[in-house]
Structure 1
Amino acid sequence: MAQFVREVMTPAATTVRPDASLVEAAQLMRAQDIGDVLVARGGRLMGVLTDRDIALRAVADGVDPLSVSCQSVCTPDPVTVGPGMEIAAALDLMRSHAIRRLPVLDSGGRLTGMVSIGDLAQERDPDSVLAEISRAAPDTWIQEGASHWS
């Protein structure tokens, strides 16, 4: 069983430039079937942008997602972990801060990956509902452009 974040993290986390539009970020999330991107410049983390951030901090306020930058909507200075942190400590951070994702930074502060609650659930309790959902293939109706409401 894995003991450290480096053993379960996604090493190639998806990033966007701080000046990228929310549309660019949303298209990247859709293409990669992910719910968040890291806002970074030169390997340095500036924030985390989730699909929920886009919906609640931009779309709900009626702003134009083509003209709003990722940096202006993302969560700046997110809670982070190092690759050598124990999984139990990462889970404690998620619990205490009520967050689902943690960017992973090396000792020099450079971005090295991302670890999610789903990653940790699959490792700690592979039979849990959360682990099963995390392993499941994405809904094909979303990828095909269909809608449940059509």
Structure 2
Amino acid sequence: MVLYAEDIMHRDNRVYDPDTDCLTASKIMSDERHGYIIIGKNGKPEGIITEWDLINKVLARNINPEGIKLKEIMSTNLISVSSKTPMDKIADIMAINGIRRLLVIENGKFLGVITSRDILRFFHDYVKDVVDIASKFGIR
């Protein structure tokens, strides 16, 4: 069975205003228990902020997070896939580009996000299923 982006993505497609300050963004990330937020306008992603961005670009430099807007520190080189992109291709794209979050966009519409944790969860479940099947045949 082949899994696709649409099968594992987080369907949370909220996009936050680029003029949001970093303190507000960190509260959103904490409340939503996400390590990232997507930034853009009119539902169209323009950038991403991760927990690492907040630590590295704001806190570690002793900058007041209320005084920095997301548009000042967001990463804008967004990489995306379509909803029908197969799992192996998604894993390849993440590995090749050294990213942990991948946007799912279909016909210009932002549908959701796939994280490296989603990929790991899939492979964990897959290995567990293989082990369970093998044990039925006496294979350890």
Q: TM-score range by the shorter chain?
A: 0.7 to 0.9
Aligned residue pairs total: 127
Structure 2 CA distance, aligned partners of 1:48 and 1:112? 15
Q: Determine helix, strand or coil for the equivalent of 1:11.
A: coil
Deviations 1:73-97 (A, max 9, x none): 1111211111111111110000001
Q: Which residue is 2:121 aligned to?
A: 122
How far did residue 12 of structure 1 move? 1.3
Structure 2 CA distance, aligned partners of 1:73 and 1:30? 18
Structure 1 CA distance, aligned partners of 2:104 and 2:126? 26
Q: Which residue is 1:4 aligned to?
A: 4
Q: Which residue is 2:107 aligned to?
A: 107
Structure 2 CA distance, aligned partners of 1:127 and 1:9? 17
Q: Determine helix, strand or coil for the equivalent of 1:13.
A: coil
| Long gaps (5+) in structure 2 | 128-140
The aligned runs of 1:81-96 (5 Å cut-off) are 81-96=81-96
**Aligned AA (2:124):** D
Structure 1 CA distance, aligned partners of 2:100 and 2:54? 16
User: Are the aligned partners of 1:47 and 1:77 in contact in 2 as well (CA < 8 Å)?
Assistant: yes
Structure 1 CA distance, aligned partners of 2:82 and 2:68? 31
Q: Which residue is 1:28 aligned to?
A: 28
Structure 1 CA distance, aligned partners of 2:14 and 2:62? 26
**Aligned AA (2:6):** R
**Aligned AA (2:99):** I
Structure 2 CA distance, aligned partners of 1:14 and 1:30? 15
How far did residue 67 of structure 1 move? 1.4
TM-score by length of 1: 0.78
| Long gaps (5+) in structure 1 | 129-150
Larger Rg: 2
Q: Which runs of 4+ in 1 moved over 4 A?
A: none
TM-score by length of 2: 0.84
Deviations 1:41-70 (A, max 9, x none): 101111110011011011222222101111
Q: Which residue is 1:16 aligned to?
A: 16
RMSD: 1.6
Q: Which residue is 2:55 aligned to?
A: 55
% identical equivalent positions:
19
Q: Determine helix, strand or coil for the equivalent of 1:48.
A: strand
Q: Which residue is 1:135 aligned to?
A: none
User: Are the aligned partners of 2:15 and 2:43 in contact in 1 as well (CA < 8 Å)?
Assistant: no
Higher helix share: 2
How far did residue 14 of structure 1 move? 4.2
